[in-house]
Amino acid sequence: MPEGGATNSPGSARDQVFTLSKNVNFVLVPVTVKDGDGHLVEGLTRRDFKILEDGVEQKMTFFTSDPFALSAAVVLDLGMPDVTFRKVRDTLPALVGAFGQFDEVAIYTFASTVQRAQDFTSVENDRLAAAMDKVRKKATGRMGGVPVGGMGGPLNSSGPQINSRPVDPSQPANVPRTANESKVLNDAILEAAMDLSRRDPTRRKVLFVISDGREYNSSASYGEVLKVLLSRGVVVYAIGVGSAAIPGYGTAQKVHLPRFGYGDILPKYAGATGGQVFTEFSQDAIEQAYSRVTEEARNQYTIGYATRATPSSAYREIEVLVERPDCKKHNTPNCVSVTAREGYFPLPAGSR
Q: What is the mean pLDDT of residues 164-174?
A: 53
Cα-based distances in Å from 125 to 131, 181, 242, 292, 314: 11, 35, 31, 23, 41
Least confident of 66-75, 203-212, 243-252: 243-252
Can you give the pLDDT at residue 157?
Answer: 42
Contacts of 97 (CB under 8 A, 6+ apart): none
Distance CA 47, CA 323 (A): 8
Map residue 327 onto helix, strand or coil: helix
Q: Are 114 and 225 in contact (CB under 8 A)?
A: no
The CATH number given to 70-141+181-298 is 3.40.50.410
**Helix, strand counts (H, E) of the chain:** 10, 16
Q: What is the mean pLDDT of residues 165-192?
A: 70
Residue type present at position 184 = V
Task: Place 185 in a pLDDT band, splitting at 50, 70 and 90.
Answer: very high
**pLDDT tens sequence across 255-294:** 444 443 455 799 999 999 999 998 877 888 889 989 999 9
Domain boundaries, the chain: 25-66+314-344, 70-141+181-298
Q: Vertex 29, ends 125 and 296: CA angle to 5°?
A: 50
Question: Taking the alpha carbons of 27, 33, 38, 39 in that order, is the dihedral positive or negative?
Answer: negative
Task: Place 339 in a pLDDT band, splitting at 50, 70 and 90.
Answer: very high
pLDDT beyond 70 at 169: no
pLDDT beyond 50 at 253: no
Distance CA 187, CA 183 (A): 9
Contacts of 262 (CB under 8 A, 6+ apart): 213, 214, 215, 216, 222, 253, 256
